[in-house]
Amino acid sequence: MVQMKYLVGVDGSRFSMHAVKEAARLLHSGDAIWLAYVSPLHVSVEYVGPYPGTDGMFLTHDKVSPPTEEDRDRAKSVLAKARDVLLDNLQSGVDSKDIAIDLIMKQGHAKEALEELSIEFNVDTIVVGSRGLGAVKRMVIGSVSDYLVHHAPCHVFIVRDVHVVHDGSDPESGARIIDKKAS
């Protein structure tokens, strides 16, 4: 019987891989985890002509193309890396055979896709990395984590960014920032 269900959004960035590491530390025997890569939408934009009654042009975008071969290859690569990171960071005493691990590729906008997957799989917690966008960038381009906090039907665990410390340590090693102004 599954105890806890987690969904982790991955995109190949160090932020998402750090989220995978943190999710691995949450897992116990009997838990389930979905690692989800969201492929971008490819929308065809077609020029139809001037908008009636104006000199301006009228564009329509009614066709969404399926993921490209490049999208599928990237998803496979990112998901394989995420799975390896997950398995390498399980707590001692937790056997990977006792955890249900599924890899998912979905097409769409990451924030809506992760929300939909959380509903579909009835997850307890969504785990995502934070890119540390400022307020203006968050408002203009949107923040996946901010959207999920306000729309997801479950807990959302936002994993903060990891920075290089003064001594030049590799952020992938898990070194945490000592002085924000130095990075």
Q: What is the pLDDT of residues 71-100, one digit of tens each?
A: 999 999 999 999 999 999 999 999 999 999
CATH fold of 5-182 reads: Rossmann fold (3.40.50)
Domain ranges for the chain, please list them.
Answer: 5-182
Do 58 and 51 contact (CB within 8 A), yes or no? Answer: yes
pLDDT higher for 175 or 2?
Answer: 2
Does the pLDDT of residue 33 top 80, yes or no? yes
How would residue 166 be classed by pLDDT, with cut points 50, 70 and 90?
Answer: very low
pLDDT at residue number 160: 83
* Mean pLDDT, residues 138-153 taken together: 77
pLDDT at residue number 111: 93
Q: In Å, what is the CA distance from 142 to each residue of 81, 134, 148, 152?
A: 26, 10, 11, 15
How would residue 179 be classed by pLDDT, with cut points 50, 70 and 90?
Answer: very low
